[in-house]
Chains A and B, each alone.
Chain A
């Protein structure tokens, strides 16, 4: 058979071509080039499936395809480095490929309904953006080294800028786009330093293989190898931790973790399908994916792991609390995204590699679903997003309602929807590993606390939107949506229900059914993969060992699951009591002062704005200094010489007898000088 891996570049390039086509010829194509995009993503999707199948067939692929800057050469000090592009296909990237291409495809289709049918202008630009966005993300997914990953990581950022700012004629979107790029850029600064540091330290940035930097780091740490360089006097462990944290900076930025999460809610200014793409499969997912990609490096440094876990747990809770008080549909979803990625970080920090990837997968589906659902609601509501103007849409938009409900149940983590399984596993991993690690345990507790909050705001959203009486005319008579909206919703809805089945770890543990933890086996290279990139390997070199509550493993599983499910139901119930009524009212007042804090997102935006202004003040000061002092000196020199000249010329009085006098004096002076030096007249 033909080798599927030969076509991996095509997966990336197809959307790229659609970008070119839409940009160049979109004006002349029907639907502004939408079909090109759909075809391209569909093609990529099929190819990805094929690739995944090949991996399942027991193969993997790690190949350098193109040397960016020339091979070899005495690169930096002692090290030889190569800057190259390549493709790394292992279970993880194969899975991610499928997810990304699928979501991208559905988003493209949905856009037909959301953009074209709504008569948006500038569609070619839109589809070009989508194409490039998808292409960059896919390039990032298949990257075989950190440099390439960084490059596409940045391109993803660019596309988010372009798409968030799609409605550039309005004031809001451009500023949101700027904020998104700037904040993530701030994170990427550390990432870039990290990349350079990796090159300096190991001389390579390959993810996989014996010469990859995780492998080298591992070898160096257990003394069987050494690294090319560490900065003056720093011991290896510390330095690797530093490098890990540097790279993490990029992750925190892109995956909207605390404190760099502020850009994401603003990013809602972008068209809803773009939000779906950003949140479910591309930009925000990139951060978490990066950690998973170089997990073999992170597990080597416990500090980093703990930090990741704690940041994740904190973000999960922190973002969830803010989601409670938002009035706009997409705002709620935005904070839920932040919170959910917090869970994934928690999982990664807690050594739950598989759990994280699992949640990444399920989240991709149900979050895409929720956003597209929100999109269809927004269509119906004529682009009014305020939930207090909605209500009672259940009967009028049945398809949207039920799919949205499925997604919400998944998000809230209600048995047996997809979200339940993944979130439960995360909490389980955090728990069992956290019992010996306070920081981690803290993360776990925060994650646990976030569960009811999540369920609460999710269903607050559902009830306010779909239940009760319509609270506005548009809600009474919403605009119907077409097949291109319902289609994607249905697909994702069913996925949101069933995806949990790919990883029935708790069931396996409790009932002892072997082999239904497909994802575990998949990521453990059971079918195919690359040495050193397996969950087992990570577990082996990882810092954690498991501890259990009463009843050993099974008991822990059951307790954990029960607790989290219970809490989720608690939150759901509360939401039901408060908002599932014919005409619900705001209860946020009960929160008192806390409410304002939550409304204003803990004033973090204000903080960042304040910082920005201080920076500008400094800049202004620098400018004054530059113009006044430095340039002043430069001009001063000339004016000084001119005044000097002015003095000198005054000698020339114009009166000839004075000339005679001066001339005589000059001569006499000369006489004296020479006479004195020569010692005449003695």
Chain B
């Protein structure tokens, strides 16, 4: 029972997402040839905000929290706990932003309806992923997220870039999910169960190798979703080729979805003690991935010409930071909960600032100014508000005070240090300096550079209200999360600690 309601109420966010998706289809069938997608945007936004509200309500009302324990459903295949709701909140916020922004981005698309429903269904998949307590559910939900994503990336059928991106994303994705699935099968072979807790308690004498290989393959699947090395190759192209709102959605929500898998599955199915005892040091694997990923992402981002591609690499770099949350863990380490909680908080903040950044790119694409840094020169003069917001995103991504990105990154590194991973934190710090360089390049282009030609800015002829709203909202959130960081980090740490 949840607050006197049936226990299934705990699934409210996921259900709301699903319902929204269906409603969107319904709306589309009622008015199939509506040129305006306003109704779509409104319905979608309302739906995802409702999901957001639901998850916040469930957390706040104490129905689901570390103290009262998690809500288990469907023969333990589903487990709703604070972490699940925390991530659901991230998904919901990002989805809402993206849907609102899409209203202007697809203003002249002949069939926007599919987009909205696909996004919402993907969000549904994420919500389920967040509560999955069985590898079966994990895989199904993962596919529920992936399949719509492939379509979304290739959504602009006439656009070679979009198609190429879709293809690469799909091929790498298919391969990765196959590997992930094989990993699951090996784990099943070694433990004979798919329920996380049962896996943890299963005896694996003689099958260490099988389990180990399985786990590594599952790491691969996670790495794909989180766009971490070496499964990151799809990310630059997919983010660059896809419609900007989709890039925002993938790089924020989808990435977070990957992390929720990592956080839950590895800590619950292969508890650290057990892993260490069995010499299956997946923490080490993640540590290596984290180090390589953040370095590769940041250094590659530093030499990009296109803003969108730079953001793609930077999102790889941030995946590296967030991976610290599953890398900097030790057997009953003092700060296991803290470090993972910090990673969760970072993902939340990142959700806002990164989505905002991509939505700014979306605005630029809507205007039809080019994609490179040079094309952004002097945008400031015609779009001051948006440019200031972009500057906020950039500085926050770089981790400068007085923006939320500073705190989330700092908490992450500090927790890592507390847990004995000084070298990871140090590497992260160095990478932050590099990132400062390329993020400030955007600001430089926007504010300092002069437009190539006086007429260069004439492209900016419209004021996409919805896009503006989304961007500004994201910016405000990014700033307000600094003073309001206390509750966030507390919730996150509490949620994470519950896993250990």
Residues of A near any B CB (own CB < 8 A): 638, 641-642, 644-646, 648-649, 651-652, 654, 656, 659-660, 662-663, 665-667, 670-671, 673-675, 677-681
A residues less than 8 Å from B303 (CB atoms): 642, 645-646, 649
Known: A678-B212, A678-B280. A660 touches B299 (CB 8 A): no
Q: Does B56 contact A (CB under 8 A)?
A: no
CA of A644 to CA of B299, assembled, Å: 7
**Inter-chain contact B220/A667, CB cutoff 8 Å:** yes
Q: Which residues of B lie under 8 Å from residue A662 when comparing CB positions?
A: 230, 233
CA distance A645 to B301 in the complex (A): 7
Q: What is the bound-complex CA distance between A641 and B299, given in angstroms?
A: 7
Q: Let me know if B181 is at the binding interface, CB within 8 A.
A: no
Q: Which residues of B contact A663 (CB under 8 A)?
A: 172, 175-176, 220, 230-231, 233
Residues of A within 8 A of B171 (CB): 656, 660
- Chain A to chain B contacts (Cβ below 8 Å), 8 pairs: A641-B437, A652-B233, A652-B300, A659-B172, A663-B172, A667-B220, A674-B280, A675-B209
- Within the complex, the shortest CB–CB distance from A339 to chain B, in Å, comes to 65
Other than the given A667-B179, A667-B217, A680-B212, 17 more pairs (CB < 8 A) read: A641-B434, A649-B303, A652-B233, A656-B168, A656-B171, A660-B172, A660-B175, A662-B233, A663-B220, A670-B288, A670-B289, A671-B213, A673-B285, A675-B213, A677-B281, A678-B279, A678-B280
Per the bound structure, the CA–CA distance linking A110 and B24 in Å amounts to 103
Cα-based distance from A424 to B401 in the complex (angstroms): 80
Taking A645-B302, A659-B168 as contacts, is the C-beta distance between A654 and B296 under 8 angstroms?
no
B237 within 8 A of A: yes
B296 and A648 within 8 A (CB): yes
For residue B270, give the distance in angstroms from its CB to the closest CB of chain A.
Answer: 12
Contact of B167 with A by CB under 8 A: yes
* A interface majority secondary structure: helix
Find chain B residues with CB under 8 A from A654 CB.
237
Q: Smallest Cβ distance from B326 to chain A, in angstroms?
A: 14
Interface centre among B282, B285, B303 (most CB of A within 10 A): B303
Chain A proximity of B198: nearest CB distance (Å): 22
Write the chain A residue with the least CB distance to B236. Answer: A652
**Distance from B230 Cβ to chain A, minimum over Cβ atoms (Å):** 3
CA gap between A641 and B216 in the complex, in Å: 32
CA of A651 to CA of B434 in the docked complex: distance in angstroms? 19
Contacts of B216 in A (CB 8 A): 667, 670-671, 674
Q: How far is the CB of A600 from chain B (nearest CB, A)?
A: 57
Minimum Cβ distance to chain B for residue A624 (Å): 28
Contact B288 A642 (CB under 8 A): no
The answer to whether A648 and B300 touch (CB under 8 A), given A663-B172, A670-B216, A673-B288, is yes
A621 to B217, CA, bound (A): 61
Complex Cα–Cα for A490 and B91 (A): 103
Min CB gap A651→B, angstroms = 8
Q: Which residues of B, 280-328, contact A by the 8 Å Cβ criterion?
A: 280-282, 284-285, 288-289, 296, 299-304, 313
B217 — which chain A residues lie within 8 A by C-beta? 667
A678-B208 in contact (CB<8A)? yes
Chain A residues, CB < 8 A from B302: 641-642, 645
B219 at the interface (CB under 8 A from A): yes
Secondary structure at the B interface, as helix, strand, loop or mixed, is helix
CB distance from B59 to the nearest CB of A (A): 36
B421 at the interface (CB under 8 A from A): no
Question: Is A674's CB under 8 angstroms from B233's CB?
Answer: no
B188 within 8 A of A: no
Chain B min CB distance to A105 (Å): 63
- A670 x B219 contact (CB < 8 A): yes
Contacts of A674 in B (CB 8 A): 212, 216, 280-282, 284-285
Nearest-neighbor residue (CB-CB) of A655 within chain B: B168
Asked whether B233 lies within 8 Å of A678 as measured between CB atoms, the reply is no
Shortest distance between the CB of A516 and any CB in chain B (Å): 85
Cα A679 to Cα B175 in complex, Å, equals: 27
Question: Does B175 contact A649, Cβ atoms closer than 8 Å?
Answer: no
Q: Mark B42-83, 1 if CB is under 8 A from A, else 0.
A: 000000000000000000000000000000000000000000
A675–B282 Cα gap in the complex (Å)? 11
CB of A564 to closest CB in B, whole Å:
79
Q: How large is the interface on B (under 10, 10 to 19, 20 to 34, 35 or more residues)?
A: 35 or more
B281 engages A678 (CB within 8 Å): yes
Which residues of chain A come closer than 8 Å to B230, judged between CB atoms? 662-663, 665-667, 670
| A657, closest chain B residue (CB) | B171
Contact of B437 (CB < 8 Å), options: A638, A646, A648? A638
Residue B234 is within 8 A (CB to CB) of chain A in the complex = yes
Q: How far is B300's CA from A666's CA once the two chains are assembled, in angstroms?
A: 18
Indicate which residue in A648, A665, A677 contacts B299 across the interface (CB closer than 8 Å).
Answer: A648
CB of B229 closer than 8 Å to a CB of A: yes
Contact B229 A680 (CB under 8 A): no
CA distance A343 to B176 in the complex (A): 100
Return chain B residues, CB-CB under 8 Å to A677: 279, 281, 284
B279 touches A680 (CB 8 A): yes
Cα distance, A674 to B304, chains bound together (Å) = 34
Q: Is the CB of A670 within 8 A of B285?
A: yes
A656-B167 contact in complex given A649-B304, A663-B231, A674-B285, C-beta closer than 8 Å: yes
List the B side residues contacting A645 at CB < 8 Å.
299-303, 434
CA distance A325 to B278 in the complex (A): 104
A678: chain B residues at CB < 8 Å are 208, 212, 278-281
A653 to B469: give the CA distance in the assembly, Å. 37
Interface centre among B212, B234, B236 (most CB of A within 10 A): B212
Once the chains are docked, how many angstroms separate the CA of A678 from the CA of B283? 12
Which chain B residues lie closer than 8 Å to A651 at the CB level? 296, 300
Q: Which of A649, A665, A670, A681 contacts B300 (CB 8 A)?
A: A649
Nearest CB of B to A556, in Å? 83
Query: Chain B nearest CB: distance from A579 CB in Å?
Result: 75
Instruction: Give chain A nearest CB distance to B306 CB in angstroms.
Output: 12
A674-B270 Cα distance, complex, nearest whole Å: 15
A652-B216 Cα distance, complex, nearest whole Å: 23
CA distance A646 to B296 in the complex (A): 11
Nearest-neighbor residue (CB-CB) of B437 within chain A:
A638
* Cα of A638 to Cα of B176 in the assembled complex, Å: 36
For B233, the chain A residues whose CB sits under 8 A away are 652, 656, 659, 662-663
The CA of A671 and the CA of B284, in the complex, are separated in Å by: 11
Bound-state Cα–Cα, A642 to B434, Å? 9
B295 to chain A, nearest CB (A): 8
- Whether the pair B172, A675 counts as a contact (CB closer than 8 A) is no
* C-alpha gap A646/B304 in the complex (Å): 9
Name the residue in A638, A648, A659, A678 with the highest tally of chain B Cβ atoms < 10 Å from its Cβ: A678
State in angstroms the CA–CA spacing of A665 and B230 once bound together: 9
Name the A residues within 8 Å of B167 (CB-CB): 656
Q: Report the nearest B residue to A678, measured CB to CB.
A: B279
Chain A residue at minimal CB-CB distance from B312? A652
| A681-B176 Cα distance, complex, nearest whole Å | 24
A-B pairs with the 3 shortest C-beta distances?
A: A666-B230, A678-B279, A659-B233
Nearest to A654 among chain B residues (CB) is: B237
Q: Which residue of B lies closest to A641 (CB)?
A: B434
Contacting A at CB under 8 A, from B153-174, are 167-168, 171-172
CB distance from A641 to the nearest CB of B (A): 6
Task: Tell me, rounded to whole Å, the shortest Cβ–Cβ distance linking A667 to chain B.
Answer: 5
Quick one: closest A residue to B215, CB to CB?
A674
A652–B239 CA distance with the chains assembled, in angstroms: 14
Bound form: Cα–Cα A27–B106 in Å: 75
> Complex formed: what's the CA distance from A672 to B278 in Å?
16
In the complex formed, the residue of A with least CB distance to B207 is A680
Question: Min CB distance, A363 to chain B, in Å?
Answer: 67
Identity of the chain B residue whose Cβ is nearest the Cβ of A653 in the assembled complex = B233
Residues 170-197 of B contacting A (Cβ, < 8 Å): 171-172, 175-176, 179
Residues of A within 8 A of B179 (CB): 667
Q: Nearest residue in A to B231 (C-beta to C-beta)? A: A663
When distances are taken between beta carbons in the complex, the residues of chain A under 8 Å from B282 are 674
> A162 → chain B, closest Cβ, in Å?
44
Residues of A within 8 A of B288 (CB): 670, 673
Q: How far is the CB of A456 from chain B (nearest CB, A)?
A: 74
Min Cβ gap A654→B in Å is 7
